[in-house]
Amino acid sequence: MLIDLLSPERLGALLTLTGSAEAAIELHQETLQVGAALMVVTATVEIALRNAVCETLAQHFAVPNWLQQPPVTFRWRPPEAGKITKAVDDAKRDTYAKLDQAGKGALDALAYPKGRPPNTPHLKRAKDRRRNLQVSHGKVVAELTLYFWKRLYGPEYEQTLWRTALKRTFPDKALKRAEVAVQLEHIYQSRNRLAHHEPVLHKRFADTVAAVEFVA
């Protein structure tokens, strides 16, 4: 039965609300449809925010690779630095996976200039090869999630990013950084729920819609 596949736990609140399995399943499917529509909206907001931040910080830092090599006057905090490092690695993994065997083999000359040691494990060989791959700034940006971008509006970057640059992504001079951070958090939390097929309803839905309107 479909209710067993969806799990009684998942449908519990809907069963209580509707009083029947059939109505609960129908309402469940409707919430998924609402979630799918909202996911499109939150994804669009994420892309727009990412692009606005990138454009603003590129102008502010005035260096091409500001994510990995920002000016000496600025330093990423460890959590964000770690996310950037992971994004670079993920971009390299993706690029490496798309190479044919000849392309992968050609990286051995860079990975092992004195010759590859015999019996090098496959996973280590792949890692050594990826280390020498160059990936574009755009590929790294694409690997960073909404979590990273919303963190840039946190209190830790009030002086170094918000007041110096990111305030321009929200031109209303009366806005405070904390107000923006709260709205981005609403979008982030709902986006995560939607990605795991969890419903966004009632106050959470209203807060998300209000946050989208705020950001837009």
Per residue in 145-189, pLDDT (tens digit) is 999 999 999 999 999 999 999 999 998 878 999 999 999 999 999
187 class by beta-carbon count within 10 Å (0-12 exposed, 13-18 middle, 19+ buried): buried
How far apart CA 197 and CA 193 sit, in angstroms, is 6
Average pLDDT value for residue range 23-42: 87
Average pLDDT value for residue range 176-203: 93
Residues 140/156, Cβ–Cβ less than 8 Å: no
Number of domains composing the chain:
1
How far apart CA 198 and CA 31 sit, in angstroms, is 9
Instruction: Give the per-residue pLDDT at 71.
Output: 95
Average pLDDT value for residue range 35-50: 95
Q: How confident is the model at residue 72 (pLDDT cuts 50, 70, 90)?
A: very high
Exposure of 178 in the CB half-sphere (CA atoms within 13 A): 0
How far apart CA 55 and CA 49 sit, in angstroms, is 10
Instruction: Give the per-residue pLDDT at 23.
Output: 81
Mean pLDDT of the chain: 91
Sign of dihedral through CA atoms 184, 186, 188, 191? Answer: negative
The structure's pTM equals 0.86
Residues 167/56, Cβ–Cβ less than 8 Å: no
Domain housing 60: 2-215
Per residue in 86-120, pLDDT (tens digit) is 999 999 999 999 999 999 989 988 989 988 888 88
- Residue predicted with more confidence, 66 or 30: 66
